[in-house]
Structures are given as structure tokens and as C-alpha cells.
Amino acid sequence: MEFAEISSFLETTADKIEACWDIRSLNNIANQRVPDFIMSGRGTLLRADIHILWTQWFIESICNPDIFANSSQGYAYIVKTVQKRVPLIFPGISEDERNKITKYIARLVDKEVQRRKERKRISLSLENRKMLWDIYGTEQRCWICGYKFTTWAENKFLGYTNYQEVPLPQFVDYMRLHGLTERHISVEVDHVVPFSKGGNEEDNLRLACGWCNSHKSDRTSLYDVALKPRILNHTKLGKQSIPHPFWIVRLLSVRRCCEYEGGCDQTVDNAELTVFPRHPEGAMNPTNLRVICSGHDPLGSNRFVSRTIAEQVS
Ligand SMILES: [Zn+2]
Ligand SMILES: [Zn+2]
């Protein structure tokens, strides 16, 4: 990479608070090719998520799934809505192509409608929960972060009433703040792919801890959450910025293994993983976060803070 290329990109795009209200400057920014160093090794996720979001906006701007999710009007009405818009968006194409694209978009909207309907009525029977628990063998972990469920969580999930006191940890990972509430350490059922592709629903279900599941929610893109990191007052390290929990969930669920540069075989299937900042003094956004196992954690014991400190953040 040429230094000229680096500085040209930075000059065009950095510090553009005034420029972001000026269409000519925006033009200039939009026409830049984004160099890889900007992505800090997260190019795949950063680009893929924004492409998916653009497509989602495009599809939903043609026909709003929310309206159909709350109505009795079915697929035929979706087709009708899309049919009206398609000639305006693609004026030059043949009737045959128009029909094809109409069907294609209508199906995408319908899937989204089903997904939004589905969310509201998901409640697994006890029997299904037991089956799901057994599928994961002897060491049940959160499929996202690798947190190993406690016996308390198991008993609660499987409906045994004689479970003892909630084993909330005394110290918590300050980057994730996992373990502050009962929900964080509970077992929940997560839909990996937010909607099933007509196949069998069970393939889509995983056990997740309440922390991961609540922060994942129905989010799918890094860009779904606010950009402002929160601040924690660390006893030894001073004020520390902490990442948005969903960014951690997104990174862990996609990477699924320790990113230690010397190589490591720890994955969320055999260990609980977390994140650390590549540049400790930098903001905790997705380009600065790396997935790490406890053995390679550069933060060491500094990672853990008392509940009191952690509770001041949330
Ligand atoms: Zn988890
Ligand atoms: Zn490791």
C-alpha cells in the first residue's frame, strides 16, 4: 500500500462533520475505494453486514413486512404490492423478467413476514427443551460465547423446581459484563437463522446463555446498534470504554474461535471466549476487538471486576 493512497483516503473521509451535509463532499467520499487497513482485518464482517443491510432496506422499501406481520392478508397481497412497484424500479425489463423479480422479492418479503410472526409465539415445550439439552451431550455450552451452563441453569431450564440459590459470580468480565443477572446465566433457546428456510425447525435451534440471547435479539448486523461505547470505572486501569454487547455477540458467533496470533485450538465448543482490544487505548468498536480465550488473554486478572463496579455501568 502506497503512503499516498493511505493519506488520500484519510484526507477525503476523516473529520467530515461539516462535509456530511454537503452533497459534493459526500460524492467525493462515496467514490473512494476503502483500503483494507481501515477494516483492521474485519473486512468480511464489516462489508458483508452493510451489504446485507442495504439489500434489506431495498426489499423492505418496496413492501413493508411489518404491515403484513400484523395483518391477516397473506402472500397474494404481498405479491400484489410488489407487482405494482416492480415496473417503476426496473422499467426496462421484459414482462417475463418482471414476473420473475416480482416473485423473488415477494418471497423474500413473505419470509420476513413469517419470521416476524414466528418470534411472537416461540415457546418450546418442556419435552422439546429436554430433547434439545440432550442433543448437546455432556457439556452444554452457550453456542455463541461458549459459557458452560451451571447445574442451577440446567435445573431451571429442564423444569426441576428444587434448584438452589442463583450462582451469580462475584467478579465479572468487564468487557462483557456477563453474570450480573439471573437471565445472563440462564439457558435459553436461540434461533440461529432468524427464520427457517422451509426445512426442519429443530436444525435452527441452539442453546444460548441469556446474556448472548438478549443482546442478539433479532439483530443480525453490526450496524444495528448504536455506535457510542459505554465507560466503566476500572479500579486498576482507570476509565475503560466497553464495547456494545451485540458487537461481542456478532464477533463471537461468526469467528467462534480464539484469534490469538500464535494459533490456538480453543473454540466456543470447548471454552468460554471473550474479546480484548487490539489497541487498548482505542475505542471498543468492531475493528478494535479480537476474540480471545482465557489462556491467551492479555488482560489477565485485570479482566475481572467486582459486581459493584460492573453494576455502575448498566
Ligand atoms: Zn453466551
Ligand atoms: Zn487461545
Q: Are residues 41 and 71 in the same domain?
A: yes
Q: Are residues 44 and 134 in the same domain?
A: no
Cell of 109: 418479503
Q: Are residues 184 and 254 in the same domain?
A: yes
The predicted model scores a pTM of 0.85
Ligand sitting nearest the alpha carbon of 211: 1
**In angstroms, rounded to a whole number, what is the distance separating the alpha carbons of residues 123 and 205?**
12
The CA distances from residue 265 to 116, 121, 268, 269, 273, in Å, are 37, 38, 10, 10, 12
Q: Are residues 113 and 139 in the same domain?
A: no
pLDDT of residue 153: 95
Ligand sitting nearest the alpha carbon of 143: 1
- Total domains in the chain come to 2
**In angstroms, rounded to a whole number, what is the distance separating the alpha carbons of residues 35 and 40?**
10
Count of other CB atoms within 10 angstroms of residue 160:
10
Residue ranges in the chain whose pLDDT is less than 70:
1, 16, 118-122, 163, 193-202, 227, 314
pLDDT of residue 195: 44
Q: What is the DSSP string of 230-252?
A: EEEEETTTEEEEE--HHHHHHHH
CA of 292 to the centre of ligand 1 (A): 14
Cell of 121: 409465539
For residue 133, the enclosing domain spans 125-314
CA of 275 to the centre of ligand 2 (A): 11
Amino acid found at 243: P
Ligand sitting nearest the alpha carbon of 267: 2
Cell of 218: 433479532
Q: Are residues 159 and 288 in the same domain?
A: yes
CA of 26 to the centre of ligand 2 (A): 42
Per-residue DSSP letter, 193 = S
CA of 299 to the centre of ligand 2 (A): 13
Q: Are residues 117 and 130 in the same domain?
A: no
Q: Are residues 116 and 142 in the same domain?
A: no
Nearest one of 153, 158, 148 to 181, comparing CA atoms: 153
Residue ending a domain, choose from 88, 121, 154: 121
CA of 22 to the centre of ligand 1 (A): 43
Q: Are residues 214 and 308 in the same domain?
A: yes
Residue ending a domain, choose from 65, 93, 121: 121
178 close to 184: Cβ distance less than 8 angstroms: yes
CA of 295 to the centre of ligand 2 (A): 6
CA of 146 to the centre of ligand 1 (A): 6
Cα 68 off chain centre by: 25
pLDDT of residue 122: 58
Q: Are residues 62 and 163 in the same domain?
A: no
Q: Are residues 150 and 298 in the same domain?
A: yes
CA of 298 to the centre of ligand 2 (A): 10
CA of 103 to the centre of ligand 2 (A): 47
Name the 3-class secondary structure at 309: helix
Residue ending a domain, choose from 74, 105, 121: 121
pLDDT of residue 22: 85
CA of 187 to the centre of ligand 1 (A): 9
CA of 266 to the centre of ligand 2 (A): 5
